[in-house]
């Protein structure tokens, strides 16, 4: 286990205790100094990673899409990411243009206040639930079944996209 400052260690322990108590069944990954878990939502199962960055007094949580976006669909998925991120209050989608990894990140800075169970809950659930909410749209864009605009509109309004009649 890496050496941590007392403040960083306290935050790490708070994270581990929350994950255990909340039923996340975390697996500690020493090489990256993070916890890995699974989240099963209505639309899929997602890998979730939670990491205390003691050097910055930050908690970062990532929910990963269970697919790599094919190279030929990455630009359309970038549009999906940009449209989905616009107006997002907590967190954001990210895509790695080199390998197609897509994830949702939620984070917070706990400097001068410490890390509490409520703060952890308020970071981890938005990441996992937002990935689950947007996943059907992502799949539709990756498959070429919907445009990025139509997929995000359908998710955010709950209605099929409206098209102007010319």
Distance separating alpha carbons of residues 158 and 114, to the nearest angstrom: 38
For residue 163, tell me if it sits in a domain: no
Residue 1 lies in a domain: no
Q: Which two tokens stand for residue 58?
A: 């930050």
Residue 47: domain span: 6-157
Residue 11's alpha-carbon distances to 14, 105, 117, 144, 154, in angstroms, are: 5, 19, 10, 43, 39
Written as one string, the DSSP assignment of 71-121 is GGGHHHHHHHHHHHHTT-SS-EEEE-TTT-EEEEEEEEE-TTT---HHHHH
Question: In this structure, is residue 46 part of a structural domain?
Answer: yes
CA distance 129 to 104: 10
CATH of the domain at 137: 3.30.1460.10
Total domains in the chain come to: 1
- Residue 56: inside a domain: yes
| Residue 106: inside a domain | yes
Query: Residues of the chain with pLDDT > 70: what percent?
Result: 94
Would you say residue 146 lies in a domain?
yes
Mind listing the pLDDT tens digit for each residue in 31-68? 989 999 999 999 999 999 999 998 889 999 999 999 99
Q: Is the per-residue pLDDT at 166 higher than 50?
A: no
Looking at the domain assignment, is residue 80 inside a domain? Answer: yes
Rg of the chain in Å (alpha carbons): 17
Residue 163, Cβ density class (10 Å: 0-12 exposed, 13-18 middle, ≥19 buried): exposed
Sorted by sequence, the CB contacts under 8 Å of residue 149 that are 6+ apart come out as: 79, 83, 161
């Amino acid at each position: 286990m890496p050496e941590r400052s007392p403040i960083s260690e306290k935050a790490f322990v708070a994270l581990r205790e929350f994950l255990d108590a909340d039923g996340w069944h975390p697996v500690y990954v020493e090489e990256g100094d993070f916890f890995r878990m699974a989240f099963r939502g209505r639309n899929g199962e997602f890998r979730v990673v939670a990491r205390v960055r003691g050097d910055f007094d930050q908690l970062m949580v990532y929910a990963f899409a269970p697919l790599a976006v094919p190279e030929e669909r990455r630009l359309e998925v970038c549009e999906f990411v940009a449209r989905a991120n616009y107006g997002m209050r907590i967190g954001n989608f990210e895509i790695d243009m080199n390998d197609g990894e897509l994830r949702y990140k939620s984070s917070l800075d706990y400097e001068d206040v410490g890390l509490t169970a409520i703060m952890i809950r308020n970071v981890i659930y938005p990441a996992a639930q937002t990935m689950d909410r947007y996943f059907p749209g992502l799949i539709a864009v990756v498959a070429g079944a919907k445009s990025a605009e139509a997929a995000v509109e359908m998710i955010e309004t709950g209605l099929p996209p409206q098209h102007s009649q010319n």
